[in-house]
Structure 1
Amino acid sequence: MKLKSLLKNTISLYTLLCVFAFSCLAKPFVDNQSQTTDKLKSVKSEISDAKSQLKNVNKKRAALENQLKENDIAISSITREIQQNNKNKKETQNKIQELEQEKIVLITSKQRQEKLLAKQLRAAYSAGHHDYIKLLLNQKNPTTIQRTITNYQYVNNARIAEIENFKQTINELVVLEESHKTQSIALDKITADLIANKKSLEKNKSERTATLALIKKEQLSTEQQLNKLVAEEKSLKDTLKKIQTLAKSSKELNGLAKLKRKLKWPVSGKIVHSFGTQKHGYIKWKGVLKRANAGQQVKSIANGNVLFSDWLKGYGLVTIIDHGKGYMSLYGHNQTLLKKVGDYVEQGEPISLVGQSGGQSQPGLYFEIRHSGQAQNPKLWCR
């Protein structure tokens, strides 16, 4: 009995030791599993936060780019208004100068007529000291009487004609003064509009600068920058495909094939990015970027029809011209577009003004030549 009891106690003790040992071994495993689960939750939370932050950044950047677009379009519109106002101001000033010249001529005529009338009146006054009836009665010769009557009628008619001319001159002077007053008021309004437009232009330029600073602050990673450029290039290709279907070249448009090295550059300036050089990653420049002064005229390289005249993401305000035979030229980052879709332009005709739309930090022109949708080296055509 004692042996059985001892054996039983031994087994119980062994079992207790096993349970204790297992519990000691299991505890670290449970703890590790718990830590792993916590870490997984933490990583998932970080991923979720990162996605949320990226979404917010993209949303903010999209809003800033949209603001940039609005700034570019506003600057373009105001610049066009300033150009038109300057033109109207010059025309009005010329009109005022013409009116001043007319006024001088009329005043001179008026003074001459006044002297002539004064002379006639003095002559009439002198003749008035003699009795007109007596003069007639004293004339015994009928021929002399008739001559006297005729002379009096001639002098009287001449005086009436001069008075009518004088009245007409006075009326013309009154009309001219009114016209002069109207033109002066118009000139004052144009000048006031110019001042307001220039203030508005400076305000929009300041807003654009602030927007660009915010965009720059939102730095993109290399991958994001590459994806951005790919998206912008795709947008341009899609646009070109759409307008190619709309291109209906007239018989006069013979393309650019025979014009290699004979065309002039659309603007004068230094090329800072050449065709085919690296833009970012595997993305290469499909055209050239030339530095030029803001407001400088951009001229069409050849005759053609305007197929596109609008804002394009990454390229700003863009004009695209069809030259026939599948040839097109593209002009980007403009400050103002001077032509609209459907306009026919001739070689050397101004089509836009140099700017820095589309997020450029300095003014310049992005220029492309394409044939059947494929980018060509502009240096093969322009000299």
Structure 2
Amino acid sequence: MALCLTALFLFHPVDAQQNEELKEIQQQIKQKQEQIEKQLARAKQLQAQLKAAELNISRTAKELDKTRQELTSNRQQQSELTEEQERLLADVKNQQQALSSQFRSMYMSGDYDFAKMLFNLEDASKLERTFSYYQYLSKARKEQIDQFRALVAQFKQVSESLTQKQQELTVLEKTQQQQSTQLVQQQGLRKSTLQQIEQQIDSEAAQIEQLQINEQALLKAIEEAQQEAQQRPVNLTGLASLRGALLLPTQGRIRKMFGRIRQGQIRWKGVLFNGNTGAPVRAVHDGKILYADWLRGFGLMTVIDHGDGYMTLYGHNQALLKNVGDDVQSGETIALVGQSGGQSSPNLYFEIRHKGKPIDPAKWLKL
């Protein structure tokens, strides 16, 4: 009994010390968890600001892209109108010279006074023939004069159109400059928001939890889009026969990240294409737009349904050019390369999924 009591007194202080240490560790874990939760809550608020900033950038980028296309079209039309103007001017000058030559000949031969020539005819038998000749001549001259007038009117119309296009060009160039300035301002606001997010999520645990939240958001978005798409049956054949033959979604160096550790136990489920801001993003094959919106962690993203359980995902875009339900053809431009979703440099994030499971894009693209 004495031995047991001795043992109890010997070991009890040690157990008490361990309990205190355990409580302290648990308290530290609790505090760290609370800190992470606060960071994520603040990051969530900042993500909403980031979303607003990137959507504004998207709208401005789409408007800027449209303005650039209009500028290109306007300059092409001006070039065509200038060529037509030069051709018409040459025709007008030719007609003018031809008419001047005819009028000069008429005057020199004295046949400018038709009545005088009729009264001076010595042979009455020539009267009918001369009258028919002058009727024909008068008709031919009238046609030439009408053609000349039509050419002058057409030249005037083309010149007015050219002036109008030049005025439109001035307006378009001013609009482009305003849109570019607005885009720079919006990108500055986005950069500031992004820096705040990075300051909030400064621990690996918070970063991993953020990636898990983003992954769940993606799966949820795809699932909801698929459920909605089931109500719109389409005839698509899938990608099974196109392994190794799919078009590249954009130009740029591919970073084969699929399957690699991203952070913690989270692995990459797609690849990245380094690109230039505003470069076209193209559909790798025929399909129908399943999803087109901003998604946390992926930015402005488009998902295309190719049928038979195959879909492709295009993330980090600057602007989306297609809407949900739109049919797209292989190689058709569906978006513009950007850095939405909190990216520090322009790139395209690309995934291929079959029945919800990610598959390695490098084995399916024609590299």
Question: Considering the TM-score relative to the shorter chain, is it more than 0.5?
Answer: yes
Q: Which residue of 2 aligns with 1:92?
A: 74
Amino acid at match of 2:335: S
1:351 paired with 2:331, answer no
Q: How many positions carry a matched residue from both structures?
A: 338
Amino acid at match of 1:205: Q
Mapping for residues 135-154 of structure 1, pairs under 5 Å: 135-154=117-136
Select which of 270, 290, 299 maps to 2:282: 299
Mapping for residues 21-40 of structure 1, pairs under 5 Å: none
1:166 paired with 2:148, answer yes
Where does structure 1 lack aligned partners over 5 or more consecutive residues?
1-45
Amino acid at match of 2:275: A
Cα–Cα, structure 1 residues 290 and 253, in superposed 2: closer, same or farther, change >3 Å?
A: same
Mapping for residues 1-383 of structure 1, pairs under 5 Å: 57-58=39-40, 60-128=42-110, 135-248=117-230, 252-272=235-255, 274-382=257-365, 383=367
Cα distance, 1:325 vs structure 2: 0.8
Moved more, 58-67 or 206-215: 58-67
Cα distance, 1:201 vs structure 2: 1.3
What is the alpha-carbon distance in structure 1 between the residues aligned to residue 177 and residue 347 of structure 2? 26
What is the alpha-carbon distance in structure 1 between the residues aligned to residue 251 and residue 102 of structure 2? 70
Cα distance, 1:357 vs structure 2: 0.6
Deviations 1:120-153 (A, max 9, x none): 3223333448976564445343322223333333
Cα distance, 1:235 vs structure 2: 0.8
Amino acid at match of 1:67: Q
Deviations 1:10-32 (A, max 9, x none): xxxxxxxxxxxxxxxxxxxxxxx
Deviations 1:276-331 (A, max 9, x none): 22222222222223333333322222221110011000100101011111111111
Q: Which residue of 2 aligns with 1:19?
A: none
Cα distance, 1:55 vs structure 2: 7.4
Moved more, 221-230 or 55-64: 55-64
CA RMSD of aligned residues (A): 2.9
Cα distance, 1:165 vs structure 2: 2.2
Amino acid at match of 2:43: R
Where does structure 2 lack aligned partners over 5 or more consecutive residues?
1-27
CA contact (8 A) 2:279 2:336 kept: yes
Identity of aligned residues (%): 36
User: Which has the higher Rg, Structure 1 or Structure 2?
Assistant: 1
Amino acid at match of 2:192: A
Amino acid at match of 1:160: K
Give SS of 1:365's match: strand
